[in-house]
Amino acid sequence: MLKARELVHPVGKGDPERAKSITIDKIVEIHQFMVAEMQKVLTEFLSLDQETRSGFTSKACETTAELLVSIAVEQHLSVHCEDVEQAVIRYEQMLQGNAEFARCTEQLANMMQHLTSAAQPRVEKASFLKALRHIAESTQKAKVFAKKLYEEYRAKTCNVVDAYRRFEEFADSATQSAEGLEEDLTPVEMQLCFDEYRDDPQVREAWTQAGAESSFLMSSMMTGRSPSSGSAAPEDKKVKKTKPSEIVEMQDYMVDELKRICEAASTSMAGNSSATPWRQDIAMQMVQALASASVERRFGVGAEEMTMAGFQHAAALQKSERFVRATEKQQEILMQVAQLCSPAPAGE
């Protein structure tokens, strides 16, 4: 990567004729390959010491990574990345509904963010501890709120519209309470800070209290990214013993609950088109929170425990077609929620 940094990647517009020969399936295959290559670049960069990484600007990281991945695509798949971009534009609408393409693009974006963040200096330990303690407090409040909201929604004393409005108010309140923090850290930056300060007992305790490890693992599993070698070992956590088959059953149940809540939201929006549009991030969080609360009520396993158990049984679960299908279906449903919140084109 250090040598590639010195290269310049020429920008081309692509050949429309060559792009026509690239099918949707081929586009997905290329992006899957790009994810694998990007993971190699990220792993190599993270193996460098902090002083060396600090010598890279964010732009240099992006340019170098794009160059290395582009070269690999052209050498191994015999296609030009500029032609792939043309093909993506050609099939843009159809690709919006392709869960695997969406997963790959999200993985690439997350890994690029991880790469550029790794080049930046870490925040001071005191600021990191303050952020972790705030997260711990906020997480506990969120759990209590979500459980209460779900019970009311289940008892039909609160419909999906009321649930959204209350969730929105809670989220806005949580955002305001975080405004006093000195640092606004992304999940990737949180993990990098932990890797830097993990030897401090206070940091490890605050990290555990904040549930940061399970959140990072959940993000990793959803995007296919491997946790860094510095992560706290999942085996050290006290997790309810759960079999892979039970996790698969929970995933299937989660799909059913997500689908049910999504359908309720869709019906409510269709019946009141004049209402203020829902915010995508809030709607997706609400749907996930209600579905997770339903899973916990039925199986006695919370979202954090399920994530940790899923990580421990990752090898077996990756071979389970039911688990993979359920995970992909969850992503599809969440994409539907996001699309429901998107404003309709003019004239419709």
Query: How far is it, in rounded angstroms, from Cα 82 to Cα 268?
Result: 43
Task: Tokens for 313, please give them.
Answer: 């049984």
What phi and psi, each to the nearest 5 degrees, are found at residue 21? -80, -5
Give the global pTM. 0.64
> Residue 292 pLDDT more than 80?
yes
| Closest by CA position to 216, among listed 198, 200, 199, 242 | 198
Query: How far is it, in rounded angstroms, from Cα 62 to Cα 117?
Result: 11
Q: What pLDDT was estimated at residue 236? A: 47
Cβ neighbours of residue 29 under 8 Å, at least 6 residues apart?
A: 77
Query: What is residue 343's DSSP assignment?
Result: P
| N-term to C-term CA, the chain | 49
Could you report the per-residue pLDDT of 91-116, keeping only the tens digit for each? 988 898 888 898 899 889 989 988 99
Judge whether 223 and 106 are in contact, CB under 8 Å. Answer: yes
> Residue 135 pLDDT more than 80?
yes
> Residue 158 pLDDT more than 50?
yes
Q: What is the mean pLDDT of residues 174-179?
A: 76
Q: What pLDDT was estimated at residue 160? A: 94
Query: How far is it, in rounded angstroms, from Cα 43 to Cα 51?
Result: 16
Let me know the angle formed at the C-alpha of 284 by 27 and 243, rounded to the nearest 5 degrees.
Answer: 80
Q: What is the mean pLDDT of residues 59-83?
A: 92
Q: What pLDDT was estimated at residue 239? A: 55
For the ranges 100-114, 174-188, 192-206, the lowest mean pLDDT is seen at: 174-188
Query: How far is it, in rounded angstroms, from Cα 44 to Cα 67?
Result: 15
Cβ count near 334 (within 10 Å): 21
Query: How far is it, in rounded angstroms, from Cα 208 to Cα 200?
Result: 13
Q: CA of 38: how far to CAs of 32, 65, 99, 289, in Å?
A: 10, 7, 19, 31
Q: What is the mean pLDDT of residues 253-273?
A: 89
Cβ count near 164 (within 10 Å): 20
Using a 10 angstrom Cβ sphere, with 0-12 exposed, 13-18 middle and 19 or more buried, the burial of residue 180 is: exposed
> Residue 73 pLDDT more than 70?
yes
Give percent of the chain with pLDDT exceeding 70: 83
Query: How far is it, in rounded angstroms, from Cα 76 to Cα 68?
Result: 12
Q: What pLDDT was estimated at residue 224? A: 46
For the ranges 185-194, 232-241, 243-252, 300-309, the lowest mean pLDDT is seen at: 232-241
Q: What is the mean pLDDT of residues 259-270?
A: 91
Rg (alpha carbons) of the chain, rounded to whole number? 22
For the ranges 6-15, 42-51, 180-189, 233-242, the lowest mean pLDDT is seen at: 6-15
> Residue 226 pLDDT more than 50?
no
> Residue 8 pLDDT more than 90?
no
Query: How far is it, in rounded angstroms, from Cα 92 to Cα 50?
Result: 39
For the chain, give me the number of helices (H) and strands (E)? 17, 0
Give start and end residues of each alpha helix (H) in 271-320: 280-299, 303-312, 314-317
Helix (H) or strand (E) holding 162: helix 160-177
| Average pLDDT for the chain | 83
At residue 39 the predicted structure's pLDDT band, cuts being 50, 70 and 90, is: very high
Could you report the per-residue pLDDT of 308-348, keeping only the tens digit for each? 888 888 888 888 999 999 988 998 999 899 888 876 554 44
Distance of CA 54 to the CA centre of its chain: 26
For the ranges 26-30, 69-73, 93-97, 257-261, the lowest mean pLDDT is seen at: 93-97
